[in-house]
């Protein structure tokens, strides 16, 4: 069975990617001056805004469920490691506890 936190984080990421696609669509309609797949620029922008808010909400919910799932684990089972950023450039660091 899939953990709730993993599900909510996946849905949040998918929602944020869809919001980015919506913003790119709004940009294309601005440049072309016509609708994209029958949707106006304003409609695409509002869809992207709502999808971004849903994505942020799902990611926060996933974070809350992750804390609840790890709440009852003994401290010895919570191992943390620091991994480097994208392609090992060290631009940002990520701490993963499992």
Residues 9-66 have pLDDT tens digits of 999 999 999 999 999 999 999 888 888 888 888 999 999 999 999 999 999 998 888 8
- The pTM of this model reads 0.67
Domain that holds residue 42: 4-73
Q: Is residue 90 in a domain? A: no
Q: Is residue 43 in a domain? A: yes
Q: Is residue 81 in a domain? A: no
Q: Is residue 69 in a domain? A: yes
Q: Quick one: pLDDT at residue 21?
A: 94
Higher pLDDT residue, 67 or 85? 67
Q: Is residue 84 in a domain? A: no
Q: Quick one: pLDDT at residue 5?
A: 82
Q: Left, alpha or beta for 38 (phi > 0: left; psi -120 to 50: alpha)?
A: left
Alpha-carbon distance of 36 to 21, in angstroms, equals 12
- 20-26: long-range pairs with CB below 8 Å, 24+: 20/48, 21/48, 22/47, 22/48, 22/51, 23/48
Provide the number of structural domains found in the chain: 1
Q: Quick one: pLDDT at residue 53?
A: 95
Q: Is residue 33 in a domain? A: yes
């Amino acid at each position: 069975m899939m953990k709730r936190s993993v599900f909510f984080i996946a849905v949040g990421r998918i929602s944020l990617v869809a919001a980015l696609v919506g913003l790119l669509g709004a940009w294309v309609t601005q440049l072309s001056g016509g609708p994209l797949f029958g949707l106006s620029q304003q409609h695409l922008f509002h869809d992207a805004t709502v999808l971004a808010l849903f994505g942020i909400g799902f990611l926060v919910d996933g974070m809350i469920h992750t804390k609840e799932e790890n709440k009852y684990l003994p401290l010895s089972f919570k191992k943390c490691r620091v991994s480097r950023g994208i392609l090992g450039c060290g631009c940002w660091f990520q701490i993963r506890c499992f």
